[in-house]
Every structure is written in structure tokens, then in C-alpha cells.
Chains A and B, each alone.
Chain A
Amino acid sequence: MATTLLEAKAETNTAPRSTTPPVSNVIQFPSGLLGFEQLKKFALVGRTQEAPFLWMDGPEDSRISFIVVPPRQLVPDYQPDLADEDVKFLGLKSPNDALVLTIVTISGPRRATINLKGPLVINARTRIGKQVVPVNADDYSSEYLLPVSK
């Protein structure tokens, strides 16, 4: 289910970024993001040439965007252990319903990190997401260095 959401976007999102993204890509974050609690709605936008990265655009007037990426391929042994409260909050019935994304920080032309300590977990069925702190967050870095091409 999670992959379907991503694939659908990669195929349909060839329009310029200024156009309104399809409604199906809008993700509700009822708690916002940590430090951005007021931002409760993001549009997930993917373009084929930027894969595996996706844009997560906040409300237009917020002028805030994040670059996100599914950590699965980048960090194969990444296993965020969700707190029961978060599973309940997200209404996750099966691991297959969960889309996990990590926020990318680009701090130079050759330096990008992802935050494994505060992943975004999205229920792909309900399109409700939350930035969670996994129970095992201490095992992971908030600045995990990505391999970047020269």
C-alpha cells in the first residue's frame, strides 16, 4: 500500500510544482511536526527525476517545505519501534499500512543527512501522519549521513 502511494505520485506528478497537487497526496499531521506544531497539512509531491526523494510542502502561506526520503533502501537495518500510543494515534492495523519517511537536511553541495530519530510515519490508508520518536530512538542518529554522488 505504501509503495503504491509513492508510485502513483511518481507517475502522475509531472506537472510544474506551482500547480495544485492532487488531493490524494495531501497528508494530515494532526500534531504538526516537532517545532512546527501549527503545520497540520502537507502535500507529498514526487517527481520521477528526483526519486527516491519526495517533497513535503506545507500550506502555501507557510512557505515551508521539507525534502523527505523513505529510509528503507538507504538504511536497510533501520527498524523504528513505534510506541503503542503512536500506533493507536495513527490507527495502524498492519505494518503494510505504514509509510515511513525521514526528513532530509541538506547542509552543503556534498552533504545531506536524514533524521532517523524523528521519522514520519503515515497511515497510507487514512493519509494521517505523525512525526514519532520511536521507542528505540536512542539507537539512531538525527543526522545520519547519506552517500552523495560527486
Chain B
Amino acid sequence: MLVLTRRVGDSVVIDGRIRVVVLRVEGDSLRLGIDAPSEISVHRQEVYDEIQRTNRQAVAPRQAAIPKLPLNKPSNRRPKSEICGLE
């Protein structure tokens, strides 16, 4: 592992296109800013691990029985928008 010392405001450049900036240090917390092209995925390690594990558990044999849901009451409530990041 490459180890570098950086101060607040300093940054590192990875592969000429990813920039990681040290924004703030508070106690044992470090706030980072990451500039990367949109095709580069950046995740917190523990969230990545959790979703990766969940994905692996979800792999289904092609003839798996799909559960029956008690969906008797059709929902009339339509959320105004499914994704709020777009407004």
C-alpha cells in the first residue's frame, strides 16, 4: 500500500483523472472530497461490502419459486416522484 502524508487542503491525483482532497480533520474523522469521472464508482468500504454480500446471496437458480405477496390492497398512493435526486 502506498502511504502518503497530506495536510488539509492537499490532494492526491490517481491515474491522472481521480482527485482526492483532504477537506477537514476532526479528531479521528477525516473528510475527503473525491473528483472522479462518472463511470468510476466510489463507495464507502462497508456499504460496498454489504451490498456485494447481499448481491451474492441473491443469486437465484433460474427456476426458483418466486414468493407470493399479499398485495390485496392496490396502493392508490403514488409518490410524487420515485427519485428525489432529479428535481
- Residue of chain B at shortest CB distance from A47: B66
Q: Is the CB of B69 within 8 A of A149?
A: yes
Q: Compute how far the CA of A67 lies from the CA of B66 in the bound complex, rounded to whole angstroms.
A: 8
Closest 7 CB pairs of A and B: A82-B85, A35-B52, A118-B51, A89-B38, A149-B68, A105-B58, A95-B86
Task: Count chain A residues whose beta carbon lies closer than 8 angstroms to a beta carbon of B.
Answer: 61
Question: Per a CB cutoff under 8 Å, which of A65, A134, A142, A147 touches B60?
Answer: A65
Q: Is the CB of B55 within 8 A of A36?
A: yes
Residues of B8-54 at the interface with A, using a CB-CB cut-off of 8 Å, are 36, 38-39, 41, 43, 47-48, 50-54
For the complex formed, measure the closest distance between the CB of B3 and the CB atoms of chain A, giving whole angstroms: 26
Q: Is the CB of B67 within 8 A of A82?
A: no
Q: Given A94-B86, A106-B67, A117-B47: A76 and B79 within 8 A (CB)?
A: yes
How many interface contacts (CB-CB < 8 Å) are there between A and B? 146
Q: Is the CB of B64 within 8 A of A67?
A: yes
Query: Which A residues are CB-close (under 8 A) to B67?
Result: 53, 104, 106, 112, 146, 148-149
Question: Per a CB cutoff under 8 Å, which of B50, B65, B85 touches A117?
Answer: B50
Where chain B touches its partner, the secondary structure class is loop
Q: Is the CB of B51 within 8 A of A76?
A: no
Question: Per a CB cutoff under 8 Å, which of B51, B66, B83 touches A115?
Answer: B51
Q: Compute how far the CA of A89 lies from the CA of B74 in the bound complex, rounded to whole angstroms.
A: 33
- Residue of chain B at shortest CB distance from A90: B38
Query: Which B residues are CB-close (under 8 A) to A94?
Result: 86
For the complex formed, measure the closest distance between the CB of A79 and the CB atoms of chain B, giving whole angstroms: 5
Q: Is the CB of B51 within 8 A of A133?
A: yes
Query: Which B residues are CB-close (under 8 A) to A72?
Result: 75, 79, 82
B6 at the interface (CB under 8 A from A): no
For the complex formed, measure the closest distance between the CB of A81 and the CB atoms of chain B, giving whole angstroms: 5
